[in-house]
Amino acid sequence: MGLFEAIILSVLAASTPLLLAAAGELVTERAGVLNLGLEGMMIMGAACGFAGAYFTGSVIVGALAGILAGMFMSALFAALTLGLAVNQVAAGLALTIFGIGLSGLIGAGFVGERIETAPHLYLPMLTDIPWIGKIAFGQDGFVYVSIALVIGIWWFLYRTRAGLILRAVGDNHVSAHALGYPVLRIRTLAVLFGGACAGLGGAYLPLAYTPFFTPGMTAGRGWIALALVVFASWRPGRVVTGAYLFGGVTILQLHAQAMSLPIPSQFMSSLPYLATVVVLIVISRRRGLAGSAAPASLGLVFVPDR
């Protein structure tokens, strides 16, 4: 395997959890709900995903456990913000604090344990094609799922009636309500979908990226995924670009650290976070000239009047 292949493969692996979580959050935000608890849902997905795979030996069970954990967390968020009209920013923070604590509690018994990570696809002939074989046909299942997910989301949002209604709810909940659409029910489903994706993205870390669970192993990926949605201007296609770009930055700094350049490793480690800040500034500035691309009702409380 050449260096080129190795780098592309590691970039894809580093990007996939971001892509999964950001794609789910994109749907949630298009429905007008800002779920800042992504980090908490991801770390719960990681802990429960590891537990599932550890007890059953099955990566698929692990992935399902991660999805369920993410959905459980997002259900709490939905109950607060949609059921009780709580401020979404504050509720998202609570979800993150709660998730970090609970995942530590669940994962405490697993620290130091290892599991088999997800196998990589192997198709005779195809995977052996030089240069691109491994990249196109030699990934773990999550990578293909994440790409299929984004295509599915794109198709749903722009090619189905349900997707149109979801976007309408996110852009103007008052009008959508007046037209008779069940705003809160649609938003609840969108939040649950986002939670499932975040849980899967979190589960990717112990199931495919590193074979163990460590407390706080998401290391801010949930927050970076949130920034990716902004970067992508709430469009599915651009989420892919953004996720691979950020995966690239992560891998770049890892390789730079391995080359033992005379730069302190902490400076390299802070690159993904600094890059996020810079990208947010640049993207927001450009948008400032053309008007915001955010769903118009994003983050606003909606209580149907009677």
Q: Contact residues for other proteins (CB under 8 A)? A: 36, 40, 76, 80, 83-87, 89-91, 93-95, 97-105, 108, 177, 180-185, 215, 219-220, 223-224, 226-227, 230, 264, 266-267, 269-270, 273-274, 276-277, 280-285, 287-288, 292, 303-306
User: b/e for 61-90, b at 16 or more Cβ within 10 A?
Assistant: bbbbbbbbbbbbbbebbbebbbeeebebee
Q: Residue 104 or 133: which CB sits closer to other proteins?
A: 104
Q: Residue 65 or 230: which CB sits closer to other proteins?
A: 230
Q: How far apart are CA 153 and CA 138, in angstroms?
A: 24
Question: Token digits for 219?
Answer: 């290391």
Q: Residue 37 or 66: which CB sits closer to other proteins?
A: 37
Question: Token digits for 212?
Answer: 């163990």
Q: Residue 2 or 83: which CB sits closer to other proteins?
A: 83
Q: How far is the CB of 30 from other proteins (least distance, A)?
A: 17
Q: How far is the CB of 226 from other proteins (least distance, A)?
A: 6
Q: By C-alpha distance, which of 199, 198, 206 is closest to 59?
A: 206
Q: How far is the CB of 276 from other proteins (least distance, A)?
A: 5
Q: How far is the CB of 167 from other proteins (least distance, A)?
A: 17
Q: How far is the CB of 269 from other proteins (least distance, A)?
A: 5
C-beta of residue 244 within 8 angstroms of C-beta of residue 8: no
Q: How far apart are CA 199 and CA 38, in angstroms?
A: 9
Q: How far apart are CA 37 and CA 181, in angstroms?
A: 26
Q: How far is the CB of 305 from other proteins (least distance, A)?
A: 8
Q: Residue 63 or 186: which CB sits closer to other proteins?
A: 186
Task: Return the SS3 of 270.
Answer: coil
Four-CA torsion 230, 177, 300, 237, nearest 10 degrees: -10
Q: Residue 16 or 96: which CB sits closer to other proteins?
A: 96
Amino acid code (one letter) for 84: L
Task: Return the SS3 of 55.
Answer: helix
